[in-house]
Amino acid sequence: RQLRTDFGERRLQVWFQPQVDLVSESVVGMEALLRWPSKDGGYISPAVFVPLAEYSGLIIKIGEWVLEESCRKLKELNELGHTNLRVAVNISMPQFRDPDFVNFVKQAVQRFGIAPQHLELEITESVVMDEPQIVVEALTELKAFGVKIAIDDFGTGFSSMSYLQKLPLDRLKVDRAFVNEVQPGQSAFIAETIVTLGNKLGLQTIAEGVEKREQASYMLKLGCDEAQGYLYAKPMPFDELLAFLPDKSS
Ligand code: C2E
Ligand code: MG
Ligand code: MG
C-alpha cells in the first residue's frame, strides 16, 4: 500500500549507472535503476520492492513511468551533446502480459524523439521461461522497430539454450556472481564460457558488477565488450550523471 501511495505521489526515483567500453573505458550507456526513498533517509532496495510491485500488478504503471523517464533523460542528454549513449531499462513479466506494452514502448521512443537503437530492454532468463511465446512475439516486434534487447543476470536462471536462438538478442549481461569469481591467480570458467557463447552467437557481452581492476582486465582479455560496476561508477541520480559524463558544451 505504501508503495502505491509513494508512487502516486511521485516519490520514486530513477537513478542511472554508467556502462563503459572495456577497451576505451568511455561511457557508452547507462542502466536505469529504481530507487524508493524510505522514511529514515535511506532507500528500499528494488530487489525487495520490485517483486511486490510485480505481484500487485503495480509494476505495469511503474514500468511505464521508468521507461518514459529514461527516454526523457536520454533526450536531455542528446540535447547536451551526448548523442551516442544508450539507456537500458529493466522489464518484468507482467509488463509483457500487458497488451499495450509494445505500443507503449514505440510511442515513448517517438514521443521523445530518441533513436530506437539507443533504447535497450533488459529481461531476465526467468521472464523468458515464464511465457516464452508472449515474450518472443513482443521482442521480435520491438526489435524490428529498432530497440535493442539484453539478457540480464545471464547464467543464474535455468535458461533453455534454444531460447537464445529464438530470441532477437543483442547483448548478454554476465551476472555479477561469475565476474566475482575472478580473483588474483584464479580462473573464472563460467564467465569465460558465457563470453565465448555470446561471441559465437554474434552477441555483444557486458560484465556486471565489476568492482576490481583485475576483473576488468580479465573480462577484457576474454573478449568481453563492456562493463558496469562500482569500479567505474555506482548508480546515481541524473544530476550526478551529468557531472560524471565528459563536458560536451564547448
Ligand atoms: P539488475 O538489473 O541486475 O541491476 C544491477 C544491480 O547490480 C543493481 O542493483 C546495481 O546497483 C547493482 N550493482 C551494479 N554494480 C555493482 C557492483 O559493482 N557491485 C555490486 N555489489 N552491485 C552492483 P539494484 O539497483 O539494487 O537493483 C536490483 C534489481 O532490481 C535489478 O537488478 C533489477 O532486477 C531490479 N530493478 C531495478 N530497477 C528496476 C526497474 O525499473 N524495473 C524492474 N522491473 N526491475 C528493476
Ligand atoms: Mg538490469
Ligand atoms: Mg543484472
Q: What is the pLDDT along the chain (250 residues), one digit of tens a residue?
A: 999 999 999 999 999 999 999 999 999 999 999 999 999 999 999 999 999 999 999 999 999 999 999 999 999 999 999 999 999 999 999 999 999 999 999 999 999 999 999 999 999 988 888 888 999 999 999 999 999 999 999 988 766 788 888 899 999 999 999 999 998 877 799 999 999 999 999 999 999 999 999 999 999 999 999 999 999 999 999 999 999 999 887 6
Residues 6+ apart with CB under 8 A from 79: none
Q: How far is the CA of 152 from the centre of ligand 2 (A)?
A: 5
The pocket of ion ligand 3, defined by CB under 5 A, consists of 152-153, 208
Q: How far is the CA of 171 from the centre of ligand 2 (A)?
A: 12
Looking up cell 512475439 gives 137
pLDDT score at 184: 81
Please return the burial class of 246, using the count of CB atoms within 10 Å of its CB with bins 0-12, 13-18 and 19+.
exposed
pLDDT score at 248: 86
Phi, psi of 160 (to 5 degrees): -85, 125
Q: How far is the CA of 16 from the centre of ligand 2 (A)?
A: 11
Please tell me the distance from the alpha carbon of residue 121 to that of residue 147, in angstroms, as a whole number: 8
pLDDT score at 87: 98
pLDDT score at 201: 94
Residue 185 CB neighbour total at 10 angstroms: 5
Ligand number with the minimum distance to the CA of 228? 1
Please tell me the distance from the alpha carbon of residue 197 to that of residue 77, in angstroms, as a whole number: 33
At what angle are helices 101-112 and 59-79 packed, to 10 degrees?
A: 20
Residue ranges around ligand 1 (CB below 6 Å): 17, 32-34, 45-47, 50, 63, 66, 90, 92, 122, 152-153, 176, 209-211, 228-230, 235
